[in-house]
Amino acid sequence: MALLFCCAAFAATPAKKNPAWSDLTPEQQQTLKPLAGEWDTLDAPRRTKWLGIAKRYPAMTPTEQKRVQDRMAAWVKLTPDQRRAAREQYRKIGKLPPAKREVVSQQWAEYQQLPPEVKKNLAAENRKKADKLEPRKRTRTANNNKKPPVIPGPPAPPPPPSPASVIPTSAN
């Protein structure tokens, strides 16, 4: 009977790896409030990541908490392509040697200190550069000038022997 009671109690509180918004504690919901609208569309690894942040949140300083809230709010506003680009940029920076990572960090800190109008001008310049670097599409002429691919086939038969290399046989 006691075993049945223990099993029932354990089954009543399952540890969900992919909890719905309504399954979160009020503290988690408060911390992750910027994500409320899209929580149910997040995959399990993303939810786990955000839950880890919510778990560390109470131990953060008020400044760190504000930074986390601001970043969450900014993240929600990004398009899927912008999020993908941000993740890729994060991976690239993570692969840099520590010295180069420090340089990037310093450059970012300097950029953050710039006035908003200077940031807008830099962003416009970067968009122009990116447009110039886009790969060009092939024109019809370029496609017509391409040589057809060489498809390997069976080896060619050996050439017939030349008349000079034929040895005459005696006709006795």
pLDDT of residue 129: 81
Q: Report how far residue 31's alpha carbon sits from residue 47's, in angstroms, rounded to the nearest whole number.
A: 13
Of the chain, the percentage scoring pLDDT greater than 70 comes to 67
> Is the pLDDT score of 140 beyond 70?
no
Q: Collect all residues with Cβ–Cβ distance below 8 Å to 83 and sequence separation of at least 6.
A: 75
pLDDT of residue 107: 92
Please state, in angstroms and as integers, the Cα–Cα distance from residue 79 to each residue in 51, 74, 75, 86, following that order: 22, 11, 9, 10
Question: How confident is residue 135, by pLDDT bands cut at 50, 70 and 90?
Answer: low
> Is the pLDDT score of 13 beyond 50?
no
Average pLDDT, stretch 30-37?
Answer: 94
pLDDT digits (tens, 9 = 90+) for 50-105: 999 999 999 999 999 999 999 999 999 999 999 999 999 999 999 999 999 999 98
Please state, in angstroms and as integers, the Cα–Cα distance from residue 148 to each residue in 18, 90, 145, 151, following that order: 52, 42, 9, 9
Q: Report how far residue 70's alpha carbon sits from residue 63's, in angstroms, rounded to the nearest whole number.
A: 11
